[in-house]
Amino acid sequence: MSSIPPSSTGSDPHGGGVDDGWQATRAQTSVATELLADADDGPTDDQRDIGRQVGADQRELFVSCDPAEALQQQFELLQPDYIALHDVGTVSSRKLLAGVATASNRTLQKLVIRRQGYGTPLATLEFVDFPGADGSLLRLYTTQADADTVARQALARVLMGYSQLAVLMVGALPAHLLESTLKPLHEAMVTGPWFNRHMLLLPLTATTATLTSFATDMARGTGVNVRTTPQVTRPADAWGFISGTWNKLREQGIGARPARPAPPSGPTSMPPMAPRPIGAFSPSVPPPAAPTPTLPLATPPAVAYPTSYAPMPPTRPVAPTQADSPLQRYVNQLIELTGMVSCCVFDIASGRDLVHAGARPSADVLAQHGAALLGAMTATARTMGLGHAMPEAAITLGSHHLLLRAVPNHPGLALHAVLDKTHANLTLVRLQVVRMDNLLEG
């Protein structure tokens, strides 16, 4: 066995005055002491935002897991204050976000979530940093992410669940559809993780009474304070309710910020956090956690909307989907067209089917894949700078045609139809479908 060589060839055991044979090696391996930040220290000022800045109005976050899981990890680490805007049966949150950006002379920004190593975009979120009266910034996110249906729904749950104020902009939906749309959200609030304790429902149509009863059901068993505003018809009115609610929460010192969670068990996985105990505190009583710093928003007229700002277009209520409803009569007429195999009207935001006629594919399959196709086309149009209008498409497959179009007079709804290629004349069918639009005016 080899032995360690003596430290010197001289008689001094400490090498005093004698050349040390290991001195050169010591010099090469000497490393100055470096003080590293403790893992429990909070993030520095340049690390308090998600992702990295790659442009004046864009940030990027590279992930090795699902976008929603990655965003959840960022929120649990940074614990930011923000408001989440969510659409239910409408597509108004982006318009409101753009209006806030314009009125406050801010730039609408994007957070692009990409796959680590490949750079493939998985999701794109839009937000604006709104200036408060004290110069601080408050972020507003829209949950209408450019992503596939599953990722978009998961991102919406995370954005609302970790927000200080979740705002639901509710369009024209019949009671039964509104119930089925809000049910998954209520389940997410109960099962968690859900740290949000304040939710605001903004009806864009005259459904306030119905919405109030749903708000009561939404709050039941969750500890979330759910409020409903009067009907809003202009973005300025909507923003007035939102900013007023936020300022009131700040004045009361109410914060819903969770305690800092334990570090994740691995770089790409995070176990779900246990939800807060049901009934831990009443919606009207502040939670026991320490309040977050007050971030007052500038009050009107400092942040008043310009008088030339275009109001939200009025929407018509979606008719009930009973057997004799206009929507059901609509698909029943469509299925009679030559070559029509199956057709379905679905809600674009949730991917839920409303009415269906014909054979296979089934209603849920048509709805889910129709929402995914529309989402992909919409994302492509936005990425290429071609606008935000609802796309319409006729797709030819091996033995079938697919037809996708918005349903007239029913915002937020779309038609997905399948035609037999050997029997259907696609051009003729598209004309016939347009002629049937008058069935939806009843």
Q: Is 268 part of a structural domain of the chain?
A: no
| Confidence at residue 175, expressed as pLDDT on a 0 to 100 scale | 81
Q: Which residues of 337-346 are buried (b: 16+ CB within 10 A; e: fewer)?
A: bebbbbbbbb
Residue 7 has what DSSP assignment?
A: S
201 and 330 part of one domain: no
pLDDT-derived band at 209 (thresholds 50, 70, 90) equals: low
| Confidence at residue 70, expressed as pLDDT on a 0 to 100 scale | 92
241 and 339 part of one domain: no
Share of the chain above pLDDT 90, in %: 16
pLDDT-derived band at 441 (thresholds 50, 70, 90) equals: low
Query: How confident is the model over 44-73, as a mean pLDDT?
Result: 84
Query: How confident is the model over 207-212, as a mean pLDDT?
Result: 73
Least confident of 34-38, 138-142, 423-427: 34-38
Q: Is 35 part of a structural domain of the chain?
A: no
| Confidence at residue 339, expressed as pLDDT on a 0 to 100 scale | 83
437 close to 406: Cβ distance less than 8 angstroms: no
227 and 81 part of one domain: yes
348 and 237 part of one domain: no
Specify burial of residue 163 (Cβ count, 10 A radius: 0-12, 13-18, 19+). Answer: buried
Q: Is 311 part of a structural domain of the chain?
A: no
According to DSSP, the β-strands at 165-170 and 82-88 are parallel
| Confidence at residue 323, expressed as pLDDT on a 0 to 100 scale | 54
Beta strands per DSSP E along 27-99: 52-55, 58-63, 82-88
Count CA atoms closer than 13 A to 396's CA, side-chain side: 6
Q: Which comes out higher in pLDDT, residue 46 or 198?
A: 198
Of the residues 251, 275, 301, which one is the last residue of a structural domain? 251
pLDDT-derived band at 436 (thresholds 50, 70, 90) equals: confident
Of the residues 251, 274, 296, which one is the last residue of a structural domain? 251
| Confidence at residue 135, expressed as pLDDT on a 0 to 100 scale | 67
Q: What span, in angstroms and rounded, lies between the C-alpha atoms of 427 and 394? A: 9
According to DSSP, the β-strands at 393-396 and 400-406 are antiparallel
Counted domains in the chain? 2
Residue 96, domain CATH: 3.40.50
Query: How confident is the model over 118-130, as a mean pLDDT?
Result: 89
78 and 172 part of one domain: yes
Where does residue 372 fall: left (phi above 0), alpha (psi -120 to 50 degrees), or beta otherwise?
alpha
Residue 387, domain CATH: 3.30.450.30
405 three-state secondary structure: strand
Find the domain containing 367 and state its range: 326-441
63 close to 264: Cβ distance less than 8 angstroms: no
Q: Is 385 part of a structural domain of the chain?
A: yes
Q: 213-226, pLDDT tens digit by residue?
A: 888 888 888 888 89
236 and 348 part of one domain: no
Claim: this prediction has a pTM higher than 0.75: no
124 and 245 part of one domain: yes
Residue with tokens 């915002």: 411
230 and 353 part of one domain: no
- Other Cβ atoms within 10 Å of 189 Cβ, number: 25
Q: If residue 156 lies in a helix (H) or strand (E), which one and from where to where?
A: helix 149-161
Q: 281-312, pLDDT tens digit by residue?
A: 333 333 444 433 333 444 333 333 333 333 33
Q: What span, in angstroms and rounded, lies between the C-alpha atoms of 405 and 417? A: 9
Of the residues 251, 269, 291, which one is the last residue of a structural domain? 251
Q: Is 128 part of a structural domain of the chain?
A: yes
How high is the mean pLDDT of the chain? 74
Residue 60 has what DSSP assignment?
A: E
| Confidence at residue 13, expressed as pLDDT on a 0 to 100 scale | 44
333 and 244 part of one domain: no
Q: Is 281 part of a structural domain of the chain?
A: no
Residues 274, 180, 194: CA angle, nearest 5 degrees: 20
Q: Is 15 part of a structural domain of the chain?
A: no
245 and 330 part of one domain: no
Q: Which comes out higher in pLDDT, residue 173 or 289?
A: 173
Least confident of 271-280, 353-362, 429-438: 271-280
Phi, psi of 162 (to 5 degrees): -105, 5
- Res. 361: pLDDT tops 80: yes
Beta strands per DSSP E along 56-164: 58-63, 82-88, 109-115, 121-131, 137-142
Q: Is 296 part of a structural domain of the chain?
A: no
94 and 228 part of one domain: yes
| Confidence at residue 321, expressed as pLDDT on a 0 to 100 scale | 46
Q: 99-119, pLDDT tens digit by residue?
A: 888 888 888 999 999 988 888
114 three-state secondary structure: strand
343 and 244 part of one domain: no
